[in-house]
Structure 1
């Protein structure tokens, strides 16, 4: 799918998913597509990794046959900035990926979540609303990132978008559920076609260093002990970043149909195959040893469950399959192998 002659606003463009999404759009469109990348470049994790992602996208867009990439540095919480971006570029599609991520960080730094995930998202919704003012065509489709965290400690698996999600166990999860509620109400009131995507544990090359697989790798390289919570008895629906991006691009091309007077829908994007944390660590160690990054498994310290964590995540992706004919399929071994190759190239060499 290409997006020729479209202007696409990607918030969080220097982030993990934002980078891969922008890259994929540029690779599969001609020079009539324009991506406006908005990111505040905060130091929640290594800024040089964000800068490296941006340099790759910028280099791609310098090719005259590829689309345009325009970077705007700033915060979603800055309403004047957000409004000015909408006024100047008039995006056809808005993909809101910018957010303060992380469950544990939300316990110690709640203000960051209020600013980015609530105020920032409200500013995006308001800008979409006013994009139709004075007879303007306005935004064709708003796509925004939610999270599997909204399911909290739900016991029923796999997690379905029909399940109740009114008992979040972390502030991060509460902000993401709030995004879904706000998007639904704005869609109802102002007829904004909106789609929320609940991502399930995204991993891969150039990923977020605060994620477990990245932290484990850093410690393995240093020969340090790694900490495994809930004594290793946890399961995650690990989803490779390429599958996430394919899912997003599919959703971009189709606005939700009207249901009960609202053009709003939520999808899960997950691998539909939860893996135990211990198997995940063992697979990661095998991939790192195969690349010669480490020469032996790590010593493991088994600890109780951390506040805000959940025992299991497991995505029901039937709606994704039914509406788009797509189901994430990249195996854990394949995905971690790609991560290990990148890690060796980026950090070891």
Structure 2
């Protein structure tokens, strides 16, 4: 059917009303900003390509993959390689997802018992709430403090009241980029455990963080640790993984679609892990650049920057909309997050890029305030 003969929205309206859930019709799809022609610093991507020799080696290796067959043993090889890479604690196992987004959706599916609730601090990653809504679970967002720390009393009260099936702790958090107080987290883990719920640590930004919960993944039978290879340097690959007690992972893995990780993704991820030193080198550069950006931000009048344990920095400016548009006009694309939550008023999220990109970003920010 050509475009001119496609049904109009008015013609489709009765059918959509009869067949699609009303809450889905009222939702907004996950938005991705057009980025062609801009310095793209809006999505916390690793800005570095592989060196040419590794690009050639990867291309040759992928050319030999049997893409005519469903994924098989190489996916198991990847799980073993990931377990070694993260030093998976004894008694734990892994499951893989098409990005951590799929793992979040699968957790909602697996925990969709009558009356189930998902709980997370807000502002936080939008997919926690979206996956809950799509699966028909209630979502409870507990506001952080004004300095984006966990509100201990509010979190514990919400756990007691709502008895969440899943409590997410982004570690570091997105978009605030900070690590939460471990002493408060310990109390949350205990409170959720007493209510027979799960605690899920989302460590998407682990390559840039000074702490991880992975070494403690096997200490509690209700704690899971989720990561993605996106920030490792493979955002285009769409591969996430989740670790936790083997018996718990075994049950959640039952809802995973068959063959959800392609043979090309698995082989590329194996290649990346074999060259983890190159990605560690890139992460080291980005951590150093993060500190350079923080120092530069201190010199800009009217700009407040929060400490970061990720490859992004949250800043507050006098007029975030005008600053965002000004930077865009100067060829630098960042993320305007002010509308995501009242606590983020006049806030922008800056991704850490290459040294050259970061210099351009600071210059654009300075000129746009």
Scaled by the length of structure 1, the TM-score of the pair is 0.30
Which structure has greater helix proportion? 2
- Bigger radius of gyration among the two: 2
Identify the structure with bigger relative contact order (alpha carbons < 8 Å, sequence gap 6+).
Answer: 2
